[in-house]
Amino acid sequence: MRKLLSLTLLALAGTSAFAGGYRVSLQGQKQLAMGHTGVAVVNSAESAFFNPAGLSFLEDKFNLSVGANALFAKTKFQNETYNWKNSTENMGTPFNIYASYKINKWLTAGLAVYTPYGSAVEWDKDWEGSHLVNNIDLQAIYVQPTLSIKVSDEFSFGGGPIYVTGSVEFNRNLSRSLTDENGVRSNVTLDAKGITAWGYTAGFMFNPCKDLRLGFNYRSEIIMEARGGNADFSNVPVLLQQAAGLTDTQFDADLPLPAEITAGLSYNITDKWMIAFDYNRTLWRAYDALVVDFANSAPTSNNPRNYHDTNTYRVGTQYKANDKFTFRAGWYKDESPISAGYFAPETPRNDATGYTGGLTYQVTKKLGIDASFLYLHFDEVDASYDHYQEGGNSVPFGGTYKSTVFSPGVGLTYSF
């Protein structure tokens, strides 16, 4: 039987859980500052991620953009009925590298390296929800070569393959009460490294008039196939180790990362002032369950997730004050993919509102320093996970979750 592990999508960066499960919307300093809009914006080599078709419209022959963010995520949990309280604070460092080279007037090559999924959630060991998760650490790096073809001054298209490499580590207790002979809680750690997969991206850009630009981009679903991952069982009573198969073993895994569709526009109100709007549809229904099937006789762990597709609405603006300073600001609304009754603490998030800003300081005509910030506020939610089974009975776990994310970032842009 094919082994399956749908671990919150490797849902990977990813991702501190925010922005659609574990999706991390931090793929460029300039575009992040504009509310993470970009499918119809031509600002820099960041177009390699947002819409490869835009690389053809860059003026310079060579363009390079590099950047990184410090991501600080905090979630508080409380159940007033049982007086349960806990919190998790995590830090991540997503990064991006984009480059493009204009081969001739109609063909541009590009390369993108970025981290759209991954990060970590770590609750106190043996906390009240430890039978669902103690900690999870998801990492993934995307490498994306692209080609952009300029058909005319009004239309271009582009795309390319995506190669993904990543890892996942996940720990939870085996039940709400099982311990070894010394009273230490029994748990399992799943660890898979060197996971690889392929996908693709494609898009087009259309300029119906001088000041209006339209864009569309599709990023395919990617299935991360982990093979031979390690499942380490700890503190299991001796009598159960062989009787229930709760001994160290291996597992295989399929890890789905959802497809995305993004469409949008940008408009130059004046020579200095631009506005942009993006609509994003993420096909989160790919994550329907967290199922672990081990190589030995350990019982299958089947945990429904039942994610649904979501929308994100993004608005951004850019104002070029002078030859040295360009200022940006943005806003976006991000829907949660989690259905009622499926709110598990490895993805403690709800609908969120993001506020962004930033600027570019042009050191020279060729070199610029970019800065951005993101504040992401999640709606407070009183929710539960109702599908944990123990002794043949469903045991709901829930409470009130409050989450926030803050992320400053810095980058360099170079072109000639």
> Which residues, 6 or more positions from 199, have their beta carbon under 8 angstroms from its beta carbon?
161, 162, 164, 219, 220, 221, 222, 257
Q: For 29-415, which CATH superfamily applies? A: Outer membrane protein transport protein (OMPP1/FadL/TodX) (2.40.160.60)
Which range has highest mean pLDDT (85-94, 254-263, 269-278, 300-309)? Answer: 269-278
Q: Which amino acid is at 20?
A: G
Mean local confidence (pLDDT), 315-337 = 96
**Residue 63 · residue 43 · CB < 8 Å:** no
Reduce the DSSP state of residue 56 to 3 states and report it.
helix
In the prediction, which pLDDT does 134 show? 92
pLDDT at 129: 93
d(CA 104, CA 198): 29
Domain boundaries, the chain: 29-415
Expressed in angstroms, the distance from the first to the final Cα of the chain is 55
Average confidence score pLDDT of the chain: 89
pLDDT of 49 above 90: yes
Q: Are 138 and 256 in contact (CB under 8 A)?
A: no
Q: Which of 55, 58, 65 is nearest to 158 (CA)?
A: 55
The answer, yes or no, to whether residue 18 has pLDDT greater than 80, is: no
Per-residue confidence (pLDDT) for residue 20, from 0 to 100 = 42
Going by pLDDT thresholds of 50, 70 and 90, the confidence category of residue 298 is low
Section 336-341 average pLDDT: 89
- Write the DSSP assignment of 122-185 as a string of letters: EPPTT-TTTTT-SEEEEEEEEEEEEEEEE-SSSEEEEEEEEEEEEEEEEEEESSSS-B-TTSPB
Q: Residues 6 or more apart from 136 whose CB is under 8 A from it? A: 7, 8, 120, 121, 122, 168, 169, 170, 171, 346
Q: What is the pLDDT of residues 150-186, one digit of tens each?
A: 999 999 999 999 999 988 888 999 999 999 999 999 9
Question: In the prediction, which pLDDT does 24 show?
Answer: 66
400 pLDDT higher than 60: yes
Q: What is the pLDDT of residues 344-377, one digit of tens each?
A: 887 767 899 999 999 999 999 999 999 999 999 9
Query: What is this structure's pTM?
Result: 0.89
High-pLDDT (> 90) share of the chain, %: 66
Residue 406 confidence class, pLDDT cut points 50, 70, 90: very high
Separation of alpha carbons 48 and 39, rounded Å:
10
pLDDT value for 242: 80
